[in-house]
């Protein structure tokens, strides 16, 4: 599971330890000579690259170690005095929101995020509020893999989420989730069945309570006319 260090990447590092070893005439992101048109970075683009680099680092992303290191070494540069360039494609794949989202999800499943440093991303710290361990059954929170299933249909996801609204524990546990497929929700079949059964008998009790004004009881209470 540990993906923090990728030795191949470390060995391939083409830069010396000299942190200024960045060629500003080349694409900042790939540092490669190519015929592809280089776009001059806008200040907005640079801010975006900076914040993405920080977030990728925080999420232990291993895809761009050199880029992140380079950006680190120049993060305080005077933007107005330096002209940064990059390929449009390099910029878009580095900053692609869907890839970041995948990293965030991965982080969420591998360890509860404890990152609260420099208020970087609201979303990152918001997900850490939930202590749900997504490798466990969402109902019993055990890691027993026997009979463990992954939520794989939107219908099931919706059903669980809508039932969960009426169950305090489940409501808290699933509070910031609106798609259990995306969240990689896992469950034991027997836990699901139990959850649904409790849910529907609670519904029945509530209906009975509302109707008769009696407190809930599973015994047969004869009605006296
Ligand atoms: Zn490039
Ligand atoms: Zn379970």
Q: What is the pLDDT of residue 145?
A: 87
Q: What is the pLDDT of residue 26?
A: 94
Gap from CA of 191 to ligand 2 centroid (Å): 5
Gap from CA of 33 to ligand 1 centroid (Å): 8
Gap from CA of 93 to ligand 1 centroid (Å): 10
Q: Which ligand is nearest to the CA of 193?
A: 2
Gap from CA of 90 to ligand 1 centroid (Å): 5
Gap from CA of 22 to ligand 2 centroid (Å): 52
Gap from CA of 56 to ligand 1 centroid (Å): 18
What is the C-alpha separation between 109 and 116, in angstroms, rounded?
18
Could you tell me the CA-to-CA distances from 49 to 10, 76, 199 in Å, in that order?
Answer: 22, 13, 47
Q: Which ligand is nearest to the CA of 38?
A: 1
Gap from CA of 5 to ligand 2 centroid (Å): 33
> Which residues, chain by chain, have CB under 5 Å from ion ligand 2?
137, 139-140, 188, 191
The residue to which tokens 């001059």 are assigned: 40
- Three-state DSSP at 181 gives coil
Q: What is the pLDDT of residue 80?
A: 82
Q: Which ligand is nearest to the CA of 187?
A: 2
Q: Please, what are the averages of pLDDT over each run of 10 residues along the chain (225 residues)? A: 50 46 91 92 92 91 89 84 92 94 83 48 43 87 90 95 90 91 94 87 62 47 49
Q: What is the pLDDT of residue 183?
A: 92
Gap from CA of 3 to ligand 2 centroid (Å): 28
Q: Which residues contact 74 (CB under 8 A, 6 or more apart)?
A: 22, 82
Question: Is the CB of residue 43 less than 8 Å from the CB of residue 79?
Answer: yes
Gap from CA of 87 to ligand 1 centroid (Å): 4
> Which residues, chain by chain, have CB under 5 Å from ion ligand 1?
27, 29-30, 87, 90
CA 208 to chain centre: 42
Q: What is the pLDDT of residue 129?
A: 43
The residue to which tokens 């048109």 are assigned: 37
Q: What is the pLDDT of residue 77?
A: 81
């Amino acid at each position: 599971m540990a993906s923090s260090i990728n030795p191949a990447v470390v060995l391939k590092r083409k830069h010396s330890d000299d942190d200024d070893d960045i060629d500003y005439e080349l694409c900042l992101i790939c540092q490669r000579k190519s015929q592809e048109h280089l776009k001059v970075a806008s200040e907005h683009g640079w801010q975006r690259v900076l914040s993405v680099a920080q977030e990728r680092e925080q999420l232990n992303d291993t895809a761009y170690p050199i880029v992140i290191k380079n950006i680190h070494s120049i993060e305080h540069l005077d933007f107005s005095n330096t002209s940064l360039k990059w390929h449009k494609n390099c910029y878009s794949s580095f900053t692609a929101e869907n890839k970041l989202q995948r990293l965030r999800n991965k982080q969420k499943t591998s360890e509860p995020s404890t990152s609260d440093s420099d208020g970087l991303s609201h979303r990152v710290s918001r997900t850490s509020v939930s202590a749900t361990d997504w490798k466990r059954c969402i109902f019993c929170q055990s890691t027993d893999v026997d009979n463990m299933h992954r939520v794989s249909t939107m219908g099931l996801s919706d059903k669980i989420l809508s039932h969960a609204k009426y169950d305090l524990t489940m409501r808290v546990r699933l509070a910031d989730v609106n798609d259990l497929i995306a969240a990689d929700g896992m469950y034991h079949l027997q836990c699901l069945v139990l959850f649904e059964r409790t849910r529907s008998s609670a519904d029945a009790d509530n209906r009975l309570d509302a109707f008769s004004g009696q407190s809930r009881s599973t015994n047969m209470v004869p009605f006296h006319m």
